[in-house]
Amino acid sequence: MYQNSNPFLCPIAHMIAVGLHHDAFAASTIRDPEAILRARIPKRKTCRIFRWKESKLKEPIFREPQRAKGQASLASPVMPLRAHTVARYLKRLGRDVGMEQPLSHTCIRRGTGNAVDKMGTVADRDQVMGHSYSGIFQFYINPNVKCDVQTAYLEQPSDTALMKVLSSMSLTRYPLAPNKLSLDDARAIEQHATIVKLRQKRDALTKTIGEIRREARPERRRGSAASEKKHLRDRAERKARERYFMENDTRELEQEDEDEVKPAVTTCALEGGLASQRMFCWSRPAKMMDHLEDHHLGYFAQDATISCPHPTCRRKGAMLDGVSHFKNHALCVHNIKLRVPRVEPF
């Protein structure tokens, strides 16, 4: 490891902070970062090593969190960080920054392997990845093709920067993507038949055993309810995120398209389009309805075919069967209330 100009990515800065926080440096003069940065390298040496205390050498740097009731989470003094805890943190990190695909250990290893593969030899790559032979690396190849096949076939210069972006996992990252269940999904899980049944069994067993907390069977029952609940939450969250990433781009494009075609000033639903009707052009809504009936709809027969003037409907070629159908369409589709047609008595 060596120093990086970006302090957030510098492993040296991180290790200095950890050592000072835990009083791990053996030299009693090391009490702040300034003492390390100002230290000089002797002429007879090419480097200076800052040793850690012997009592700190066996303490893991990355440690498992411990939670006590009513207290904040603290790092365990002796237990190293476990793989499944890191996996949980990586998944949460990817979700919080808006990654479409789950972030995992495999993503980190695949990114490292592909980066070394571009810069080093096959032997270097196998050494970094810990592979006994090169054939194992085929399972870590980036699923996104890094070669610009299109320009290669057309015999044109390749856009290296563009291909780098297109092959990145962060291409579809969206910070506003939902990172938790909606209230409706959470409520549906709480009311799920399996969860309700398991909760009832758990409560019944808890009431029966009373103070006997070490009984194996009730513990398994409580565990099964929690496991089933977590499974349902994860599945609902995964489906919600899949729906979001599938629909978000289209939804934004449609919204932008409607905003672009929205006229600045309108006078009535037919003259300016249903999308941007403004009621303040008349003293009362009834005046606008009179204008619409007298100057527009009054010229149509009740069963005449009428085209909807809304930009989206116009592009789709929406045709409405008569005045009643037009008014119902305006209310149901565009949320614009028009006068209800009169029904003549028999």
Q: What's the pLDDT at 86?
A: 92
Distance CA 62, CA 81 (A): 5
Q: Check: CB of residue 178 under 8 Å from CB of residue 241.
A: yes
Tokens read off for 306: 């009428």
Q: What's the pLDDT at 324?
A: 84
Q: Which is it for the CA torsion 219, 220, 225, 229, positive or negative?
A: positive
Q: Check: CB of residue 189 under 8 Å from CB of residue 245.
A: no
Distance CA 306, CA 310 (A): 12
Model confidence pLDDT, tens digit, residues 157-212? 777 777 777 777 777 777 778 878 888 888 888 889 999 899 889 888 888 887 67
Q: What is the pTM of this model?
A: 0.46
Model confidence pLDDT, tens digit, residues 80-96? 999 999 999 999 998 88
Instruction: Give the rounded distance of the alpha carbon of 28 from its chain centre.
Output: 46
Distance CA 290, CA 273 (A): 17
Distance CA 281, CA 122 (A): 74
What Cα–Cα distance (Å) separates residue 184 from each residue in 188, 225, 234, 235, 243? 6, 20, 15, 14, 15
Q: What's the pLDDT at 250?
A: 61
Write the burial class of residue 248 (CB in 10 Å: 0-12 exposed, 13-18 middle, 19+ buried).
middle
Q: What's the pLDDT at 87?
A: 92
Distance CA 286, CA 221 (A): 65
Q: What's the pLDDT at 90?
A: 92
Q: What's the pLDDT at 271?
A: 53
Distance CA 293, CA 286 (A): 10
Alpha-carbon dihedral of residues 131, 134, 138, 140, nearest 10 degrees?
30
Q: What's the pLDDT at 219?
A: 47
Looking at residue 22, its amino acid is H
What's the full length of the chain, in residues? 346
Q: What's the pLDDT at 268?
A: 60
In the chain, which stretches have pLDDT less than 50? 217-220, 257, 261-265, 267, 274-280, 343, 345-346
Residue 25 β-bridge partners = 52
